[in-house]
Amino acid sequence: MEVTIFDNSVELGKSAAEASAAILNEQIKLKGKARIVLSTGASQFTVVKALTEQKVDWSKVEMFHLDEYVNLPITHKASFRKYLQERFVDLLPELKKAHFVNGDGDVRMNIEQLTKEIRKEPIDLALIGIGENAHIAFNDPPANFETTEAFMLVNLDEACKLQQVREGWFSSIDDVPDKAITMTVHQILQSKVIISCVPHKEKANAIKNFFENDTNRNIPATILKTHANFTLYIDRESASMTDEKHLTNLVE
């Protein structure tokens, strides 16, 4: 595990995007194509924006994403499909393909089809955010570390719902859907490289718990520390509750 800290989320996003582009370009050079998983949410704004500005042959890149609410129309401002369509896909018309998590209609069939697609070839790079409750994707605590499924249907916990309200995606907790489709912990860990971009003071407690605990289903993000090629990008706000001894490779 490598840890890098930045003064702010803009610097963090730019550096993470540059590192991501280098990984994608290396894979394209080696095998003529690349596959990426993207996260969504307010914490990912800067990295997603910066990534669209990188020099990558996007015609050779397939995109997947982590999760989506069940029965939330793509027109809703909280839809992760809408988020990525507007902030990534529409800005890269040459993108080879975008595989969206679809929470409409026959959810089981949608999961089966998406599983078939993601398991055709390995994921080269996954950008995995960490939630205020330390979830990764919608694997809320206590997370399922045992399943070998690629995607599954989950119930969202109250802390997760409250984060969505605080970020402005919903007016109240009652408006947040109870269920979502999420990429599993197992599938996330199959990615060759994982980069986690976790800025903002709202994530400070999650980052503190990430560092201070061993692998723990109640702090789902701790499982990322077991991955062979994992880098954590944080800023001074998200690092503000964490003991300095954990913060190696400090970037000024």
pLDDT at 105: 94
Sheet holding 61-65, edge to edge: 2-6, 230-235, 193-198, 125-127, 34-38, 61-65, 97-99
* Lookup: tokens for 17: 């995007």
pLDDT in the model for residue 65: 96
Give the span between the Cα atoms of 216 and 236, in whole angstroms. 25
How far is the C-alpha of 153 from the C-alpha of 107, rounded, in Å? Answer: 8
Q: Note the pLDDT of residue 243.
A: 87
> What is the spatial distance between Cα 229 and Cα 239, in angstroms, rounded to a whole number?
21
Collect all residues with Cβ–Cβ distance below 8 Å to 42 and sequence separation of at least 6. 167, 168, 200
Q: Is 186 exposed, middle or buried (0-12, 13-18, 19+ CB in 10 A)?
A: middle
Predicted pLDDT of residue 191: 98
Residues in the chain: 252
Single pTM value for the model: 0.95
Q: CA–CA separation, 125 vs 183, rounded Å?
A: 14
Q: What is the pLDDT of residue 245?
A: 78
The pLDDT value given to residue 248? 60
**Chunked in runs of 10, what are the mean pLDDT values of the chain (252 residues)?**
94 98 98 98 96 98 97 95 98 98 96 97 98 96 97 94 93 95 98 98 97 96 98 96 74 44
User: What span, in angstroms and rounded, lies between the C-alpha atoms of 95 and 62?
Assistant: 7
Q: Exposed, middle or buried, 245 (CB in 10 Å: 0-12/13-18/19+)?
A: exposed
127's tokens: 């950008």
CA-to-CA distance for 192 and 173, rounded, in angstroms?
36
The closest alpha carbon to 66, from 76, 78, 81, 54, belongs to: 81
